[in-house]
């Protein structure tokens, strides 16, 4: 079975992430979304909340599942039986760091990274920007699923 991992923080999932996951799901037998547990960074949403939102947003994809990981991405890939990592590239500015990580990961364990050009509709999009837009009352409905936008609004009112 050809498996690929789509890793990230997903705090929260955006339509840009979903575009990459959906396209990856058409290329691989199974896609595992790997949510990084980063103990040194407090997110807006807990890991459980991020997983729940990703699960709901990808429910229509039969070959996509969501899991969390900490430590090295290559160890997660090994545990999941995945030989490939899929990363979306939004702009040239993403490439520098992504290339470093891809080369480190292939050096560490032979895991390949495939870069997928982001849909131009989402080339400027990030979870951080969406949080800022919603925080200050802007309309983020084009950038996250409706239920994520609602949860963002509620959470940001509490902070
Ligand atoms: O959504 P993000 O925060 O840009 O995702 C970054 C992520 C999770 C892909 C990256 O930080 C990662 O792979 N972390 C795992 C730690 C690791 O394997 N580090 C060495 C890779 S070079």
Q: Report whether residue 149 contacts ligand 1, using a CB cutoff of 6 Å.
A: no
Task: Summarize pLDDT for 57-116 with one digit per residue, the tens.
Answer: 999 999 999 999 999 999 999 999 999 999 999 999 999 999 999 999 999 999 999 999
Atom of ligand 1 nearest to the CA of 9: 1
- Quote the number of domains for the chain: 1
Q: What residues make up the domain containing 56?
A: 3-123
Q: Is residue 139 part of a domain?
A: no
Q: How far is CA 85 from the centre of its chain?
A: 11
- pLDDT > 90? residue 159: no
pTM above 0.95, yes or no: yes
Q: 113 lies in a domain?
A: yes
In a domain, 146, yes or no: no
CATH number at residue 58: 3.40.50.620
Q: Under a CB-based contact definition with an 8 Å cutoff, are residues 30 and 3 in contact? A: yes
Question: Is 47 part of a structural domain of the chain?
Answer: yes
Residue 147 placed within a domain? no
Cα atoms in the 13 Å half-sphere on the side-chain side of 67: 16
11 Cα–ligand 1 center, Å:
14
45 is in an annotated binding site: no
Give the position, in ligand 1's atom list, of the atom nearest the Cα of 104. 22
115 CB neighbour count, 10 Å cutoff: 15
Q: What is the DSSP letter of 134?
A: H
In a domain, 95, yes or no: yes
What tens digit of pLDDT does each residue of 5-56 get? 999 999 999 999 999 999 999 999 999 999 999 999 899 999 999 999 999 9
Q: Is residue 52 part of a domain?
A: yes
């Amino acid at each position: 079975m050809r498996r690929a991992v789509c890793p990230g923080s997903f705090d929260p999932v955006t339509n840009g992430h979903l575009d990459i996951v959906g396209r990856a799901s058409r290329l691989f037998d199974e896609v595992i979304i790997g949510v990084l547990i980063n103990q040194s960074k407090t997110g807006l949403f807990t890991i459980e909340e991020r997983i729940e939102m990703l699960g709901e947003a990808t429910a229509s994809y039969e070959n996509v599942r969501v899991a969390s990981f900490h430590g090295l991405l290559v160890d997660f890939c090994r545990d999941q039986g995945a030989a490939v990592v899929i990363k979306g590239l939004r702009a040239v500015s993403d490439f520098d760091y992504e290339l470093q990580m891809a080369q480190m990961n292939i050096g560490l364990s032979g895991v390949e990274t495939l870069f997928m050009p982001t849909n131009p509709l989402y080339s400027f999009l990030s979870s951080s920007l969406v949080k800022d837009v919603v925080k200050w009352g802007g309309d983020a409905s084009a950038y996250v699923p409706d239920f994520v936008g609602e949860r963002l609004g509620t959470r940001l009112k509490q902070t």
